[in-house]
Chains A and B, each alone.
Chain A
Amino acid sequence: MFGLNKKDASLLLIVAGLVAFAPFLLNPFPEGSAMAQFNAGYPDLMQRFVIFGIFAIGFNILFGLTGYLSFGHAAFLGVGSYAAVWMFKLLSMNVLPAIVLAVITAGAFALIIGYVSLRRSGIYFSILTLAFAQMSFALAYSVLTPITGGETGLQLALDDPRILESASASEGNIPVPGLFGLEMRDSFEMVMGSWVFTFNFGYYFCAVIMLIAFYLSIRIFRSPFGMMLRAIKSNQQRLNYTGVNPRPYTLAAFVISGMYAGLAGGLMASMDPLAGAERMFWTASGEVVLMTILGGVGTLIGPVLGAGMIKYMENIISKINSDILHGWFAFLPDGLEDLVVTMIYPFIGKGWHLTLGIVFMLVVIFLPGGLVEGGQKLANLFGRKKADNPKSASTEPAE
C-alpha cells in the first residue's frame, strides 16, 4: 500500500488510527472524576503532540539516520513560525501560504547553516549548529525586535495590512487563522454520558499533515537516499571509497529536517498566531534531541512517542496542584492524606521538571533503546511474540 511494505503500511495505519481517535483515547476519564486531570484530549495539547511529533520526525531523519547531532534545530522551528506569522500579517489568514512560506524559509535557512556546519563532524558540528541557533535567538530577542517582536513575540495586530482580506478587522477583533473559511479553532464537542470529547478542526488539520510527514519519513527511511544516510552514520570512510560523496547527502538530510522543523513552526503559528524568540533558545533545541532519544533514535515511531511524553508531562503534570492532590486522597484519613500529599507534592505542579529529569534517567538506564524498546518489552511480556517488531522494521539505535 502506498509503496510501503506490509510492516510499514500497518505501522502507518496504526498511527493514523491513533491520531484519528486521539480525542477519545486521550480522554479516557469521565469529566468530573478525579482522574480527569490526566485527560489530554483538549485541542491545544493534541495539536502540540502532533506538531512536536513532526518536529521530532524531521529531526530523526538527520540524527537518527546520519548520526549528525544538531543542537540548533529549534532555530528552524522559530524561523518557520516567524515566516508564518508574517504571512498572516501581510497576506491573509489562510494557513496554506503561511505554512508553505514557513517550510521554504526554514529550508533556505537550513541550507545556509547546514552548508557551513557540515564542514565539521561530531561534536564540532553540534557546537556549530548550537552557535548559529543561539545567535538567532539572541538577535531575535533583542536587536531584531522590529522584525521578531522580541520579548513579547511577533503578534498580529488590528492594523496589519493583510492585503488579501480587507474587511476582516471590522469588528475590532483580529481575525483567526483558517483554511478557506474554516477556522482552525473550530471544534465541536460530543457528550457521551459523563465523557466529553472535543473534535477540533485545527487538530485534524495538523494530524493530516503529520501523517503525510510520517509517511514521507517512512519512504525516506526505505529509499536509497535513506540507505545512503544510514551508510554515512555507519562508515563514512567506506562510503567515500565506494564513490559516494557524503556531503550532499548530509546536507540534503539537514535541509529536509530543517523543513520539517519549519513545517512544525508554521503549524504552531497557524494554531496560535504568535511566534516567540524562546522557541529558538538552546533548551528548545535540546528538547527535540531529548524527545528523539527518549522515544528511540533512528526508529520510525520513537520520536513521536518521545515528543508526546515530554509535552504530556509539561502540560499535565505541571498543572496538578496541592489542592487537587488533596482532592484525590480525600478518602484517606486526614493524617495519612497529608502524608501522602507531602510525599507526592515535590513531583507535581512546580516540581514537574524534577519528574521529567527522573523519567529521562529511568528511561535511559532501563530502556537503552528508548520508549520503543519499552513497548517491545511490554509486547514480549504479553506473549505476543511478533516476529517483526518495530525495531527491526527500522534501524538500530545510534552508536
Chain B
Amino acid sequence: MSKGNLTRRGVLKTGAVAGAGLALPTYLSAAGHEGFTNAPTGSTVTLGFNVPQSGPYADEGADELRAYELAVEHLNGEGDGGMLNTFSSKALQGNGILGKKVEYVTGDTQTKSDAARASAKSMIEKDGAVMITGGSSSGVAVAVQALCQEAGVIFMAGLTHSNDTTGKDKRANGFRHFFNSYMSGAALAPVLAANYGTDRKAYHLTADYNWGYTTEEAIKSSTEAMGWETVAAVKTPLTQTDFSSYIAPVLQSGADTLVLNHYGGNMVNSLTNAVQFGLRDKQVNGKDFQIIVPLYSRLMAKGAGANVKGIFGSTNWHWSLQDEGSKAFVQSFGTKYGFPPSQAAHTCYVQALLYADAVERAGSFAPCAVVEALEGFEFDGMGNGKTLYRADDHQCFKDVLVVKGKENPSSEFDLLEIVEVTPVDQVTYAPDHPQFAGGALGSCNNGA
C-alpha cells in the first residue's frame, strides 16, 4: 500500500519541481494564498488529528485515531461509507472534501496543554493542516482551541466534557460535539430520583481541577434541585492514586450516596477503592448506599472491572444504540478493527464528518465560511438523534445517554447498559446559564 506524501503546499509537489536547484527564489508572504491559513491549493487537503498517544489516555487516543482513519476512508469514498449513508446532510460525495482527497497528519498531545499546542502548531506550520481535531481532556481542548482561534484554523474538539470548553473558554473557531457537565447533571438527576428517591445525602469527591469543578457544580445543582442534600464535597489531587483516605470518612459523614467526579485513572482508582471499602454493601439512613460516576467511559470502566456493575453514569454515545447511524458506524468500525468503537471514537468520527460536510456546504475551506455553515446547523443520523450545533456557543445539543454498569456482561466490551436516552430538550440550557458565564466567542478568524 502506498499513500500520497504529506505536504504543505500541494502545488510544490506537482509543479515547480523541474529545475529545482536553479529556480530563482520566490518570495511569498504568509498572508498570500487565498486569504486564510493553509488554504489547500493542490488536489489534497490535510487534516490534523491531535490525540493523546502517550500518558494515561493513550488507549482512548488510539481509539480516536482509528475513528479518524475510518472517517478519512469514508470521506475519500473507500470502505462502506459508514455514517455517510445515514447522515441527514447529503453534501458529501465520497470524493474527498470539495473534490480534494483527504490526507492527515497525527500528533501526540501527551494530555498536556503545552505538548498539545506544540503538536497542533507543527501541524499548522509544518504540515499545513487546515483543521485540527481530537483530544481527550478539557485542558487540552481549551488550550488547542485557543491556539486554533489565533492561528485561523478550525478546531473540532474531541472528548472534552468540561462546561468551560463551550462556556467561559469558548472560541469562534472551535466546535464541540461532545456533551458537557451540565448535560450530565441534567440527564442524570431524573434517573437518580426515579431509582434512588428524592431524599438522599450526597458526598462528592471531586478531581481538583477545572473539569472536576464544573462537573461537581452541575451534579450538585441538578441533584439539589430535586431534593438531594450535599453533605460534603472534597477535592482530590490529580496525581492521587490511592483514594482510601478520601473514601474512608464517607460512611461516617452520614451520606448515603457517593458521587465520584473523577475521570480516567482517577475514576478507576476511586471507584475501585470505594467498592473495596464495601460502601455498596452498607445501609445508611435506611437506604442502600449508592455510588454515581457522572461521566462514564467504557474504555476506562474496563479498568475498574466488576466494580462498575450497577453504577449509574452518563455517556455521550454507546455502541449498543440501535439507531441507523450508530449501527452503520459500529458495523464499519467493527469490521475494520474487530471491536466496537468507544464514545471517544464516535465523537471524533462525527466531528470529522461534520467538518467535511460544513466545508462542502460552504463551498470553501475558509474558517469563517465553515463557522457560518456549522452555526445553527441541524442534522440527524449520527447516532444521537436530532442534533443542533448552537450558534451562540458552538455546542451540540442532542440526546444524552444515562447508563449503568451491566450486571452480566456478555463480552469485554459489553460493560454498560443504556438506562435512558434523555431527550435533548431536557438537557438544553440558555447560552447565558450561570454555569457557562463569562468568556465570549469573539469573531471567526481566517488567519493569514
A interface, CB within 8 angstroms of B = 30-34, 36-37, 39, 42-45, 48, 138, 141-143, 145, 150-153, 155-159, 171-174, 176, 185-196, 198, 272, 274, 276, 278-279, 314-315, 318-319, 321, 323-324, 326-327, 330, 334, 337, 349-350, 352-353
Contact = CB atoms under 8 A, between A and B. Distances in A.
B232 interface: no
Contact of A353 (B13, B21, B26, B54): B54
A274 B122 contact: no
B284 interface: no
Given A145-B209, A156-B146, A276-B114, 14 more contacts: A32-B17, A36-B6, A42-B122, A151-B211, A152-B113, A155-B143, A158-B439, A158-B440, A173-B445, A174-B149, A193-B23, A195-B20, A198-B125, A337-B1
A327 B162 CA distance: 38
B28 A188 contact: yes
B337 to A, nearest CB: 14
Contacts of A279: 114
B16 interface: yes
B30 interface: yes
Contact of A31 (B12, B117, B172): B12
26 contacts: A31-B12, A32-B12, A32-B17, A43-B125, A142-B209, A142-B238, A145-B213, A151-B211, A151-B238, A153-B139, A155-B143, A172-B172, A172-B442, A188-B28, A191-B28, A193-B19, A193-B22, A195-B20, A272-B147, A274-B114, A276-B114, A315-B119, A318-B54, A323-B104, A326-B1, A350-B62
A193 B20 contact: yes
Interface string B252-290: 000000000000000000000000000000000000000
A319 B8 contact: no
B20 A194 contact: yes
A190 B58 contact: no
A29 B30 CA distance: 20
Nearest to B440: A158
Contact of B20 (A30, A155, A185): A30
Nearest to B126: A42
A327 B4 contact: yes
Contacts of B62: 350
Contacts, number: 202
A31 B7 contact: yes
Contacts of B439: 157-158
Given A31-B9, A152-B113, A173-B149, A276 B122 contact: no
B324 interface: no
A291 to B, nearest CB: 16
B29 interface: yes
B417 to A, nearest CB: 31
A278 B55 CA distance: 13
Contact of B112 (A171, A276, A350): A276
A173 to B, nearest CB: 5
Contacts of A188: 27-30
Contacts of B61: 350
A51 to B, nearest CB: 11
